[in-house]
A and B are shown apart, each in its own frame.
Chain A
Amino acid sequence: MTFSTQNIVMVVIIGLLGIGLYGVLISRNLIKVVVGLQVAVKGAMIAFVLAGRLNGKVDLGQSMALTVIVADTIVAVVALALAVQVRRKFGTLDIKSLTTLRR
């Protein structure tokens, strides 16, 4: 495996997806969960751009990455609004304290 641009970017993609998943799994704070999701989505975004470049269709890759950016921003907005509402309603951001179904 050589240190070509494409290999480096692939390692970055795998690393970002792994770090994002790790962040989602280990966080107790609702806002930190959103941070983990954002990190994982950035990996997917670079993957689209790299795939477009490898196929010779950079513009299609860019177009797909743009879709991911739009969806990602909406997810962040709604998730942060939910986190703020949860904080107002329950007084905490701890996801362990929000398990109201468990007694």
Chain B
Amino acid sequence: MVNFLIGAGILACALLAVRENRLLIAALWLALTSALVSFLMYRLGAADVAVIELSVGAGLVTVLFVFAINIAGDVSLDPHAPIPQLLSWVAVILSVLLLAWMVLPALQLEQYLELFSAAGEPGGMLRSVLWGERSADLLMQMVLIFGGVLALVGLISGGKQEKDGEENHP
């Protein structure tokens, strides 16, 4: 029952975040979605990643959104979509149906559970899996983080230089 309520809350908050025209309110709905998602993860037994999702998804990303909206300005555009409404609905319904079709056989997973548990090794600690089995992935994540930071610094300093250049040579 609790999971059902959390799931309904997640979907409602996500829909409100997408439909809301004011950017700041949309960012707040997104933060609430993140908080509920982390609660659901905790209920699923993934406590470690739930904490990170709560701090990063609901905290850091929301701060970033508010910061960006503050700089760019909370402009609300008229709600006419760039592509026809009917086409977007058809695309969404088709993709959701495709996903459901792929997932539906998995809804009766009880019969496969024994198979999985027979084939799978007992799960180790998150630490050993992360550092032992996925060290290459982890290195790539570090490279990605540094790449992202460098791109951000490049973008910001590029804009600054351009502004300075315009001021010096009007």
Contact = CB atoms under 8 A, between A and B. Distances in A.
A84 B71 contact: yes
The size class of the interface chain B forms with chain A is: 35 or more
A93 B77 contact: yes
Contacts, number: 226
Contact of B144 (A27, A38, A70): A70
A56 B123 contact: yes
A72 B148 CA distance: 11
Count class of interface residues, chain A: 35 or more
Contacts of A45: 37, 41, 53
Q: Interface SS of chain A: helix, strand, loop or mixed?
A: helix
Contacts of A19: 11, 14-15, 18
Contacts of B139: none
B117 interface: yes
Interface string B116-160: 110010111110111001100100010011011001100110110
B7 A38 contact: no
Given A28-B81, A35-B26, A63-B126, A70 B159 contact: no
B14 A49 contact: no
B129 A60 contact: yes
Given A35-B30, A63-B129, A67-B137, A74 B145 contact: yes
Given A55-B120, A58-B46, 8 more contacts: A5-B3, A19-B11, A32-B23, A35-B65, A39-B30, A46-B40, A56-B120, A84-B72
Interface of A: 1, 3, 5-23, 25-29, 31-32, 34-36, 38-39, 42, 45-46, 49-50, 52-63, 65-67, 69-74, 76-78, 80-85, 87-89, 92-96
